Amino acid sequence: MTLQPHLIKRLWLAIKAPLDGPLMLFLGLIFALSLVVLYSANNQGLDKIDNKLVYTLLSLTIMWLLARSRPQSIMNFAPPIYGIGVVLLLAVHFKGVTVNGSTRWLELGITRIQPSEIMKIALPMMLAWFFQKYELSMRWWHYLVAAVMIAIPCALVLKQPDLGTTMLIAASGFFVLFFVGLPWKVILGGMVAAGASMPVVWNMLHDYQRRRVMTMIDPMEDPLGAGYHIIQSMIAIGSGGPWGKGWLNGTQTHLDYIPERTTDFIFAVYSEEFGLVGNIVLVILYTLVLSRAMMITAGAQTLYGRAMAGAITLSFFVYAFVNMGMVAGILPVVGVPLPFVSYGGTATVTLFVGMGMLMSIGNARR
């Protein structure tokens, strides 16, 4: 009996050891805030809070396991994970479940998985592994091989069709290239080429994707149809004003005007109830997470560590920025959840896996 406090302390230390203090603090604050918003968004129902606690706990466990592993050991899993990811994407292509016209899911009997989600982590891992392996014998054509590695999953996900996820996967791959030293000339050249090819891409887009882009440019074009979501979420944000309407008092939220209000559009709920002040607080919290992640990236000892940590950090930024930008009407509507705030298990697991790898890389320099 007398030993108990001692045991608890030892256990606490063992759990704490691999975790990054500042990151945990900032994530904890964001998480607490997300529970507050979810309670309101779900019309004060507790069911989704319960679920969120369960899958967050599960994600934390995975994160902890990753954080206490050596980056080297995690890295070795890159090729098989990437391979499995590609196979699963192929399986989706041939045997996937079609919902609302896109084939993104794979039925596994007990559950459905979305292989494109795996790719968000698997692709940067694979690329970082690849550049680490050929670190000392790099030639220009290694970039070509890398480009193919990016192109394969992107093409498969684009076919589903899922433009949003394709861009996120492509971006995560690009971030690795960026941090392993893709020449600036190529980056700038690529940007110019991308700009020039816009008309071609436009022609390849599906009608609904074009509609979304047009909706972003002028939501009033179709206020009852495609523009409806964006107009309603902009009304929610704008009417929140500087100080917000107060917790549980968002009229847009509680009169059912905000679509997908516990998932992709949860930011509109937050923004309506907590106003500009709340938005700034959330952006600062995200900036703190990103700053800490940048510090870990800066201290990474290997090329793999730098590339992977950098890609995780920038991807995290992209999720946050794209989601808030979309809800605020400056980016087209793509299905990107708000990191650590939106309700949904799959995306949360991916995010915590990223954080676990980041911590693992951070621990390696100690």
Partner 1 sequence: MRPTRFKNPQAEDGQFQLRLIVAYGFMLLMFCLLIARFVWLQVYQYEHFSTLAQNNRISLLPILPNRGLIMDRNGVILAQNYSAYTLELVPSKMPDMNATIAELSKLVNITPRDEKLFKKLLGESKDFESIPLKVKLTEEEAARVAANAWRFPGVQVKARLFRDYPYKELTSHVLGYIGRINQKDQERLDDEDKGTNYKGTNYIGKTGLEAVYEDDLHGQVGFEEVETDSGGRAIRSLRRTPPVNGNNLKLALDIRLQEVADKLFGNRRGALVAIDPQTGGVLAFLSKPGFDPNLFIDGIDSQSWAALNNDWQKPMINRALRGTYPPGSTFKPFMAMAALETHSIGMHDVRPAPAFFTLPGSSHQFRDSNKNGNGSANLAKAIQVSSDTFFYKLAWDMGIDKIAPTVGQFGLGRPTGIDLDGEASGVLPTKEWKAKRFARYKEEFRRWYPADVVSIGIGQGFNSYTPLQMANGIATLANDGVAYKPHLVQEVVDARSGKSRLIAAKPDHVLPFKQENFEYVKAAMQSVLKPGGTAWRLGVGLPYTMAGKTGTAQVVAIKQGAKYNASALAEQYRDHSWFVAFAPVDKPRIAVAIIVENAGFGAAAAAPIARGLFDYYITGKVPGSISGDLKTVPLDTADDAAAASD
C-alpha dihedral (112, 117, 121, 123), degrees to nearest 10: 110
Rounded to 5°, the CA angle 202-203-209 comes to 55
Sign of CA pseudo-dihedral 13, 17, 19, 23: positive
Binding mask 127-166 for partner 1 (x = CB under 8 A): --------xx-xxx--------------------------
Q: Select from 120-128, 156-164, 223-231, 333-341 the region that touches partner 1 (CB under 8 A).
A: 223-231
Out of 9, 287, 301, 365, name the contact with partner 1 by CB under 8 A: 287
- For residue 99, the tally of other CB atoms under 10 A from its CB is 10
Of 157 and 176, which has the nearer Cβ to partner 1?
176
Residue 363 interacting with partner 1 (CB under 8 A) = no
Residue 107 phi/psi, 5-degree rounding, is -85, 125
How far apart are alpha carbons 122 and 119 in whole angstroms? Answer: 5
Closest distance of CB 286 from partner 1, Å: 7
Q: Does 44 bind partner 1 (CB under 8 A)?
A: no
In angstroms, the CA 211 to CA 215 distance is 6
User: How many chain residues interact with partner 1 (CB under 8 A)?
Assistant: 53
Q: Which of residues 183-212 bind partner 1 (CB under 8 A)?
A: 183
- Sheet of 97-99: strand order equals 97-99, 102-107, 112-113
In angstroms, the CA 252 to CA 262 distance is 13
Residue whose CB is less far from partner 1, 59 or 323: 323
- CA 85 from chain center: how many Å? 17
- Shortest Å distance, C-beta 17 to partner 1: 27
Examine residue 246 and tell whether it contacts partner 1 (CB under 8 A).
no
Q: Which amino acid is at 158?
A: L
- CA distances to 120, 170, 176, 178, 348 from 117, rounded to whole Å, are 5, 12, 18, 22, 10
Q: Look at residues 164, 166, 165 and name the one whose alpha carbon lies nearest to residue 209.
A: 164
Binding mask 309-328 for partner 1 (x = CB under 8 A): -x--xx--x---x--xx--x
> Any alpha helices (H) in 17-77, and if so which ranges?
21-41, 47-67, 71-76
Q: Name the minimum Å distance from CB 72 to partner 1.
A: 19
280 binds partner 1 (CB under 8 A): yes
Whole-number minimum distance, CB 270 to partner 1, in Å? 11
| 298: contact with partner 1 by CB under 8 A | yes
**Which region among 5-13, 41-49, 78-86, 252-260 touches partner 1 (by CB under 8 A)?**
252-260
State the chain's maximal CA–CA distance in angstroms: 74
Q: Please say which residue, 62 or 205, places its beta carbon nearer to partner 1.
A: 205
Q: Which of 49, 276, 281, 288 binds partner 1 (CB under 8 A)?
A: 276
Report the residue from 286, 304, 340, 343 that binds partner 1 according to the rule CB under 8 A. 286
Only one residue has tokens 């090729």, namely 79
Contact residues: partner 1, CB under 8 A: 135-136, 138-140, 178-179, 181, 183, 220, 222-225, 232, 234-242, 251-252, 255-257, 271, 275-276, 279-280, 283, 286-287, 290-291, 294, 297-298, 306, 310, 313-314, 317, 321, 324-325, 328-330
